[in-house]
Structure 1
């Protein structure tokens, strides 16, 4: 049972879908892992991590978009999240991604983010997206660049501190 009105998006290996109740535990586990979630806003207590999970559900209701749960088609397991994020204080809508432990290095973040960006451009009518990356997060920088995004500027994110803003090519640039 999805907790949002999120569409289901398919790729060869993945299903991108709205968050459901059984996604809470993997998301909370990720958010409480200080090493892995540091660039995403790690939490040191379960209550705050749960509130972030609930925030994503509310984000869908307020904006009509948010983070999809990335489901591994072969196993049905939640593999991470990807989607469009724009909470209060963000400079503009962001294409974001996270893969959970055991799913790294398989191209899942690229495949999911590519599909989420396509949906944002084709179905929501977005003309640009950014990815906001904590300095030193080399894997996210490499993925943003693989998606065609280019460094635009450094800014102070009210929740995360200093962030690098990468600009994705727009739909016209991707079609060329």
Structure 2
């Protein structure tokens, strides 16, 4: 079993997901507007299974989604991490920030920390973010992170997606 390492930023702690974190994911998947970028609405039992797969992803791949918390609180405010289930074109950085915490730069801070950890500690040389057309907030964040649209492709679960390529370690060092 591969435990998720702890990552800290100025404001955040990214820690491994635990069973008590599931309610935020269930609420996220119940929202038809917010969940569209992750496959759309799911009933509670399916959202629970998706969350269980997030935990299993750590054990199968050695990386996955972290739970985002504010320093000084263990309450989940979102998730961010590296996702690469079977059928994905390559590892991607993904993010969800729960509604009460949007608009504070949390997704940017978390994604920046995840990318740095992936490059500096885990040895990744490239990462993408796969975004469904129309998800303008995720496109804006990917571009703020320096990612550029490389191509569209047919995702086995999501249909047409836009693949944004993040700058690699050498590009970020400049």
Normalising to structure 2: TM-score of the pair?
0.97
Contact kept, 8 Å, 1:133 with 1:140, in 2: the verdict is yes
| Contact 1:4–1:18 (Cα < 8 Å) also in 2 | no
Structure 1 contact 13–74 (Cα < 8 Å) conserved? no
1:30-56 deviation digits (Å, cap 9, x = unpaired): 122111111111233111100000000
Say which of 114, 117, 139 aligns to 1:116. 114
Equivalent position of 1:29 in the other structure = 27
Q: Residues 102-147 of structure 1: CA distance to partner in whole angstroms, max 9, x if unpaired?
A: 1110000000000000000011100000000000111000000000
Deviations 1:68-93 (A, max 9, x none): 00011244321100010000110000
Between the aligned partners of 2:82 and 2:70, the Cα distance in structure 1 is 19
CA distance in 2, matches of 1:74, 1:143: 26
Of 165, 168, 171 in structure 2, the residue corresponding to residue 170 of structure 1 is 168
**CA distance, structure 2, for counterparts of residue 51 and residue 75 of structure 1:** 26
Q: 1:161 aligns with which of 155, 159, 162?
A: 159
Structure 1 stretches of 4+ with a deviation exceeding 3 A read none
Partner of 1:58: 56
Question: Does the CA contact (< 8 Å) of 1:14 and 1:71 recur in 2?
Answer: yes
Q: Give the count of matched residue pairs.
A: 174
Stretches of structure 2 that go unaligned for 5 or more consecutive residues are none
Task: Trace 1:1-176 onto structure 2 (pairs within 5 A).
Answer: 5-176=3-174
- Tell which deviates more after alignment, 149-158 or 22-31: 22-31
What is the RMSD computed on CA atoms of the aligned residues?
1.2
> What TM-score results when the alignment is normalised by the length of structure 1?
0.96
Aligned partners of 2:118, 2:49: CA distance in 1, in Å? Answer: 25
Q: Which segments of 5 or more consecutive residues in structure 1 lack a partner in the other structure?
A: none
